[in-house]
Structures are given as C-alpha cells and as structure tokens.
Amino acid sequence: MSAETGVYLITGFLGSGKTTLLNRIIDRFPKDQKLTLLVNEFGEIGVDGTLVEGEDIDMMEISKGSIFCVCVKTDFIKGLYELNSKVKPDILLIESTGVANPSDLKRDLTLPIFNDRFHFKEQFCVIDAVHFLDAYEVYASLEKQIASSTVFIINKTDLASSETIENTKKVVRQFHPEPSFFETTYADIPLESFFEFTNPAPTIPETPQLENTNTKLLSNEELEQFIDDLLDNPDLEITPPDALMSITYQWKGDNLGQISAMAKALPSSIVRAKGFVEGNNHMYLFNYVMGTWTVEETTVPKNRIQHRDIVVFIGPPESMEGIEHATKTGNWSNKGAFQPYSQS
C-alpha cells in the first residue's frame, strides 16, 4: 500500500474525448499498482462511468455538478478523505465534468486532513478540434481549464481543418507561451511520457517504513464540520460556473430513427446529450456534441448499463423549451430538470 498518491486530472469541455483518454490509461496501467478513478459528471444520471473499461478498478462517481463547485465540493472532499483513509491508491485519475473550473484542485489536495498523501502530477486538457473555438466564445470554464492545464490534447483532428487547429493553438498560446501540444484522434498520445507503465527494477530492500497508524480518523460529524468551516471561509474563492442545466428524458420508442429525428430538431444551443438506448435487441450509445451526433452500437455489456433508454441533455436554461419541442418527434417523457449551480 503506497504512502502517497499521484494525482492526474483530465479536463476538457463536454464531449471532447476525456473518457477515451481515461480508457487508454486504464488499458496500459500495470496490474500490480493500485489505480482509482474519480469520475465527475454534470448531469443527475452518470453515463461516462458506465463507459469506463477495465475490471477490478476502484471507481467513485460524483454527479449533479462540478467537483470544483461549492454545490458538490462536499462530496468531493468526502471522497478524497475516504481514499486517503481507506483505499490509499498509488494513482488517482480524476475525470472532471466538461464545465468544471479546476483551478482550486491543487489547494484541495493539500488540505491538512489528507496528511500529505496526494501529490499533483499532471493536468491534461482534451480539446475538441471541431467545436472548441465556438464553445470558447461562450463558456468561461474553457478559459479556466486552459489556464490551469499543462498538456493539451487537440482531439478529433481528422474532422477539423488545419486552419481551425492552428487557431485553436493560438488561443492556448495566449495562456502558455510554450505549450505541450498533441494532435490526435481518439486521444491517442504517448502515455509513457507521463506514466511509468513498466515495473521498476528490483532494488535491495531497505528497512520497511511502517505507515503511521496513529493518525486519528475523523468521525462523520468532525468531517462535516471541517467541510462546513472550509466553505464558510471568507477567503475561499470559488469561481461561479457557466449557467448550464441538465434535463433527463426517457425514450419509450421502438425505432432508432426517432433518436436521429429528435437530434435534428434540437436547438443549436444544446452543447451535449448522451445516453444508452435499446433497439432491435441491441444497446446503442447516443452521443451528441454541439450539433453533431452518432447512434452506435455499444460494446458495454447490458448488465453494466443501469440507465437504459435514458438521455441526459445539457444546455443553457433557455434551451429547455427547445428540448421539449424536439422530443415530441418520438415517444419521450420528461424525467425532470436539474440545475447544479442554483444557489437557492
């Protein structure tokens, strides 16, 4: 059991390819090291966690908002405390929601209750080469993600022009004079440049250092009080996130053509929609990013899909009426809207 945990953050706007990168890392990760995933989703129902591949991996999912926002920061800190006191992984991979502002992550990792366990290693920013420039003009969270990142993965380059890719790089260079760029498809980067995938050469064992087991664990009440005091701190700065909402619909149709018809009718302000739908006794993943969508058969086993025929839509509050109109093209029922950043 490792005495410290290396932390890697995967950020990027909605639909950029963060989960694809996460799966690439999992596929290469040594079996004799302990890997834990923390997957953060904007919507009330998680989809990305289901898409994570690999067996026997510790995974923690936090939905209903950004882990870097006050709305779910309590869950995030509680999750980190559990990892610190019980799981104690070698590596922690955090996939943040696409509208997260990750600038205060490093501060959270150094909170005294974690006993210096977490050590920040790298922040990857996955950029959708096709949609980034349009999204950057509207959503302030992208600027925060770029400003705090160190490695930039310009993804889906096969679908973007060379001019668009170069203009994307110009935006990044406004924050980083000499950024580290990778132009990719399917988030395929040389992971060995950032992770040690081979087992280190054996060394002469030293006198074992016993882990300090005298550290007093906080009770639930003490942990709650610590977090309350942290959030009440007037010096704590949490940037207000972009005004986006998620809304969930259940599909009760039997023709996949209804999915495409609905997608065509969505308002242009919708930035993301995703969900698993069933047709012809097969499971499909509906994946929508800023006007572009696919409905493709998924390799995820049925028994891993908890929410079937459920689609989560993400967009500004004024787009909710447009979603209602679009879903009239098929047999859909509204399961409720959720606005993570409401302060009421």
**Which one of 181, 203, 231 terminates a domain?**
231
How far apart are the C-alpha atoms of 338 and 58, rounded to whole Å?
A: 27
Structure tokens, 19: 């989960």
Same structural domain for residues 9 and 150?
yes
273 lies in some domain: yes
b or e along 23-59 (b: 16 or more beta carbons within 10 Å of the residue's beta carbon)? bbbbeebeeeebbbbbbbbbbbbbbbbbbbeeeeeee
311 lies in some domain: yes
198 lies in some domain: no
Structure tokens, 228: 């309350």
42 lies in some domain: yes
φ, ψ for residue 225 (rounded to 5)? -65, -40
Q: What CATH number has the domain bearing residue 321?
A: 3.30.1220.10
Residue with tokens 């922690």: 92
Give the CA angle between residues 214, 218, 223 to the nearest 5°: 155
239 lies in some domain: no
Same structural domain for residues 176 and 41?
yes
Same structural domain for residues 82 and 227?
yes
Q: What CATH number has the domain bearing residue 93?
A: 3.40.50.300
- The SS3 call for residue 274 is strand
Same structural domain for residues 161 and 298?
no
Structure tokens, 280: 């012809």
Structure tokens, 204: 């002469």
Same structural domain for residues 188 and 266?
no
**Which one of 173, 203, 231 terminates a domain?**
231
Exposure on the CB side of residue 194, measured as CA atoms within 13 A: 25
The region that residue 309 occupies, defined by phi over 0 for left and psi between -120 and 50 for alpha, beta otherwise, is left
> Which ranges of the chain does DSSP label H, i.e. alpha helix?
18-28, 48-51, 70-82, 105-109, 132-136, 140-148, 162-173, 220-231, 257-265, 320-326
Which tens digits make up the pLDDT trace of 112-149? 999 999 999 999 999 999 999 998 887 877 888 898 89
237 lies in some domain: no
Give the CA angle between residues 154, 173, 130 to the nearest 5°: 30
Q: What is the pLDDT of residue 47?
A: 46
Exposure on the CB side of residue 107, measured as CA atoms within 13 A: 11
Same structural domain for residues 87 and 48?
yes
293 lies in some domain: yes
Same structural domain for residues 149 and 63?
yes
Same structural domain for residues 156 and 185?
yes
Q: What is the pLDDT of residue 44?
A: 47
Q: What is the pLDDT of residue 200?
A: 52
Which of 298, 236, 226, 260 lies closest to 50 in space, CA to CA? 298
Structure tokens, 328: 């009239």
Q: Tell me the mean pLDDT per 10 residues along the chain, length 344.
A: 84 87 89 84 49 64 51 76 89 74 76 92 94 87 86 97 97 92 96 80 47 67 83 60 80 90 94 90 92 91 86 89 91 74 37
Same structural domain for residues 182 and 275?
no
Contact assessment for residue 151 and residue 125, using Cβ atoms and an 8 Å cutoff: yes
Amino acid at position 284, single letter: Y
How far apart are the C-alpha atoms of 164 and 187, rounded to whole Å?
A: 18
136 lies in some domain: yes
Same structural domain for residues 161 and 17?
yes
Same structural domain for residues 177 and 312?
no
Domain extent at residue 284: 245-338
Contact assessment for residue 312 and residue 47, using Cβ atoms and an 8 Å cutoff: yes
Its pTM stands at 0.77
Residue with tokens 């668009």: 164
Q: What is the pLDDT of residue 203?
A: 47
Q: What is the pLDDT of residue 50?
A: 55
- Residue 120 pairs with which residues in a beta bridge? 7
Please provide the size of the chain in residues: 344
**Which one of 205, 231, 257 terminates a domain?**
231
Q: What is the pLDDT of residue 301?
A: 85
| Number of CB atoms found within 10 A of residue 102's CB | 24
Same structural domain for residues 303 and 226?
no
- Per the structure, the count of domains in the chain is 2
Q: What is the pLDDT of residue 101?
A: 59
